[in-house]
Amino acid sequence: MQRAIYVIFTLLIFSMSAFAEDVEILTQNSYFEDDLEGWEVFLEGGAQMEAIIDDSDSVKGSQCVYLDIQQLGSDVGFWEVKLGQVILGTIEQGATYTLSLWAKGEETRQIRPHLRIGAGGKSPWISQHAQTHDITTEWAVYHHSFSAGGEKDGLLDIALGTMMGNLWLDNIRLYEGQYEEDPDLGRAGKIAVKNSDKLATTWGKLKDI
């Protein structure tokens, strides 16, 4: 009996390690260990949002991103407040991709993770793949899979612009294939800090995307 349990445990560890080694995560700095490197805030219609690195709470590694939406855009649309990054040279037409992330809000709200495909990660877009999620005040994983409708670069963004307030995001992953759990979750053990000790980046310039 003990040998059977050992064999099952060994196979489980092996399969988890295989996923970690075989799946190429296309997002850069997906769990914010390098602060905000690779990520941008996109604002339209007079919207305002502050992106802050928070090392007091996370689901992977020692940091996550805390988003403080201070002003909605003039049309109060999802797309007027976004966190995103360009994914260059990796999207294959017809291949299945999964976009997954961990999120929680100061209160329940909606978010819309989205991948748009176009040369250089810019319009005109060949195809768009989005899914709206209702997030709660507790950390949870949200994901959707899709077949890519074009073979160009991509712009991955998390659209947030229908409600002011605060939320946290972590472990934002884009990869080829169906959804798989991340086998390597867990904080790195940093001591909690006050809000004033967080690394903040405020983006006030509108970006044409």
- Cβ neighbours, 10 Å, residue 193: 11
Give the ranges where 60-153 is alpha helix by DSSP (H).
none
pLDDT band at 2 (very low <50, low <70, confident <90, very high): low
Q: How many helices (H) and strands (E) does the chain have?
A: 1, 14
Q: Is residue 9 domain-resident?
A: no
How far apart CA 30 and CA 37 sit, in angstroms, is 10
Q: Is residue 36 domain-resident?
A: yes
Number of domains forming the structure of the chain:
1
Match 């904080």 to its residue by tokens.
187
Q: Is residue 80 domain-resident?
A: yes
Q: Which domain holds residue 48?
A: 24-203
Q: Work out the average pLDDT over 29-53.
A: 97
Do residues 152 and 118 touch, judged by C-beta distance below 8 A?
yes
Q: Is residue 209 domain-resident?
A: no
pLDDT band at 116 (very low <50, low <70, confident <90, very high): very high
Q: Is residue 143 domain-resident?
A: yes
Q: Find the CATH number of the domain harbouring 35.
A: 2.60.120.260
Q: Is residue 85 predicted with pLDDT exceeding 80?
A: yes
Q: Is residue 15 domain-resident?
A: no
Q: Is residue 6 domain-resident?
A: no
Q: What percent of the chain has pLDDT over 70?
A: 79
| CA torsion angle 55 107 200 56 (round to 10) | -10
| CA torsion angle 43 168 28 178 (round to 10) | -110
Q: Is residue 165 predicted with pLDDT exceeding 90?
A: yes
